[in-house]
Structures are given as C-alpha cells and as structure tokens.
C-alpha cells in the first residue's frame, strides 16, 4: 500500500531505456520512530534498480525519505512501503531495497525487499 508521501517522488525520462544498467543509491541517514517505544530508529537505505522508462529524481527521494523522520512505523512496514511507493512512481525493471537498521538493545535488523517487473 503506497504511503501518503508517494506524491512527493519525482522521476525523469531514462535516456537509455533500451539498455539494462544498474543504479545504486545509498541513503545513510534514514530515520523513523519505533511505534512501540517512540524512540528514533536509524538506518541505511540502499536502492539498487534497473530502470525502465523512468529514473528517480534524487532530491525528491531525499525529501521523501525525510518525511518518515516522525513516523511511528516498524522496520518491515517502512521498508515495504518505501518499495511500494518507489515501484509505483518509477516502474523499474527490477529493484532491491536493503534497509540496514542500527543496533538497538543488542540486536540489529536488515530488511531486504525486491520487485521484478512482470
């Protein structure tokens, strides 16, 4: 299910849509809020995608991700929601989103979600 922030994502035309190539974007300062404790969660979001007709505009992605800063949302939910929004806007041939969250209470979590265009 797309988030309420989805409309903030922007794209531009892929000038090389006839070719498969990979774009990797690392967002090392992702933050959200634990819905149970209200404490901040910190992570690194890494997008690795093969564009089709559109590419993501980086400034809009940065501003979109910043909107989660005050959202109470579980790691799994935020990672899947971000992927859904990304796919809805960019419609890539393939995308993997890896969310690496910093340790909390001695545990760290890595969530990996993937979409392949059918």
Residues labelled catalytic: 34, 41
Q: How many residues in total does the chain contain?
A: 118
109 pairs with which residues across the strands? 101
For residue 114, what are the CA distances in angstroms to 13, 49, 63, 71, 109? 22, 10, 22, 23, 17
């Amino acid at each position: 299910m797309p988030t309420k922030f989805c409309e903030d994502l922007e794209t531009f035309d892929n000038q090389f849509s006839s070719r498969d190539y990979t774009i990797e974007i690392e967002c090392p300062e992702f933050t959200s809020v634990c819905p149970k404790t209200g404490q901040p969660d910190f992570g690194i979001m890494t997008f690795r995608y093969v564009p089709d007709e559109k590419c993501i505009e980086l400034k809009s992605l940065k501003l979109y991700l910043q909107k989660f800063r005050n959202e109470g949302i579980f790691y799994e939910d935020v990672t899947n929601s971000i992927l859904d929004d990304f796919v809805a806007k960019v419609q890539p041939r393939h995308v993997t989103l890896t969310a690496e969250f910093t340790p909390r209470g001695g545990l760290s979590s890595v969530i990996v979600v993937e979409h392949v265009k059918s």
